[in-house]
């Protein structure tokens, strides 16, 4: 691989990571918006920090940091930054695989845990404003009622519930949506993993080529 090919590869890696840095900024912006506008964390009493906003902010921040390392490592031809980029991507990929395995193995326990936390939050509906706001928001948005149905409110559903007594519960509706879109979610996750592997491959190839050029120039 000559110097011209090295430059092409360098700029491919740079623009590849620049695009992801912009995506990370966008995701971070959405996370801040969700954090300000939504209070769904109040529905999970044992893990109040587990909100859509917080999760999206963390994901956006990680993407920005990793993409920044990739951009700087490629444009500066810095082997240390490129290897840091490679190691971080590998670490993230291993975490994703581990989480997927744990979700599959402990699916029923996680399901019970989420349903139990949501049921407990219903008991705090009249005593906690954040919980009330969260339930009203999710019931209006999803057009659902309670966790499993209207009966969760013991015959006194709030006005945010649809008037139909046979309305589906919010958790049940979310599960049905997830299962009906499982194929698309799976394709999205696999695509993300493939992109990560490509990023790792580009970074490793560029790093090796920089090393070869350094040796040929006697640096």
99 vs 92, 103, 116, 122, CA distance in Å?
10, 6, 21, 29
pLDDT of residue 50: 63
Which residue intervals of the chain are DSSP H helices?
3-37, 52-75, 79-105, 107-123, 129-142, 170-180, 182-216
User: At CA 21, angle to CA 39 and CA 10, rounded to 5?
Assistant: 165
What is the per-residue pLDDT for 119? 84
The pTM assigned to this predicted structure is 0.73
Query: Would the pLDDT of 106 be above 80?
Result: yes
Higher pLDDT pick, 53 / 132: 132
Give the model's pLDDT for residue 181: 83
pLDDT for position 218? 56
Class of the CATH-defined domain 1-217:
mainly alpha
Judged against a pLDDT cut of 60, whether residue 1 lies above it is answered with no
pLDDT grade for 38, boundaries at 50, 70 and 90: low
For 53, the token pair is 């906003």
Residue-wise pLDDT for 39-98, tens only, equals 555 566 666 566 667 778 888 888 889 889 888 888 888 888 889 888 988 898 898 889
19, 32 contact by CB (below 8 A): no
Confidence (pLDDT) at 157: 86
Give me the pLDDT at residue 186, please.
Answer: 83
* 50 backbone dihedrals φ, ψ, rounded to 5°: -85, 75
pLDDT of residue 3: 61
Instruction: Tell me how far apart the alpha carbons of residues 60 and 4 are, in angstroms, rounded to a whole number.
Output: 34
The predicted-structure confidence for 148-206, as pLDDT tens digits, reads as follows 888 888 878 888 898 887 888 888 888 888 888 888 888 888 888 888 888 888 888 88
């Amino acid at each position: 691989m000559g110097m011209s090919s090295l430059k092409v590869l360098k700029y491919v890696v740079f623009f590849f990571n620049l695009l992801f840095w912009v995506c990370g900024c966008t995701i971070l912006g959405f996370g801040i918006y969700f954090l300000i506008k939504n209070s769904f964390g109040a529905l999970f009493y044992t893990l109040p920090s587990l909100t859509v906003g917080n999760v999206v902010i963390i994901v956006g921040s990680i993407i920005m940091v990793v993409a920044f390392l990739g951009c700087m490592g490629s444009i500066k031809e810095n082997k240390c930054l490129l290897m840091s980029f490679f190691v971080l991507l590998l670490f993230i990929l291993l975490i994703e695989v581990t989480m997927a395995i744990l979700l599959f193995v402990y699916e029923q326990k996680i399901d019970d845990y989420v349903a139990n936390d949501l049921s407990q939050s219903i008991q705090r509906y009249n005593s906690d404003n954040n919980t009330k706001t969260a339930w009203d928001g999710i019931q209006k948005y999803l057009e659902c009622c309670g966790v499993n149905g209207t009966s969760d409110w013991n015959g006194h559903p709030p006005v945010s519930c649809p008037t139909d007594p046979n309305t589906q519960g919010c958790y049940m509706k979310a599960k049905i949506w997830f299962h009906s879109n499982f194929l698309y979610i799976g394709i999205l996750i696999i695509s993300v993993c493939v992109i990560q592997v490509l990023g790792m491959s580009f970074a490793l190839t560029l790093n090796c080529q920089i090393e070869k050029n350094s040796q040929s120039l006697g640096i």
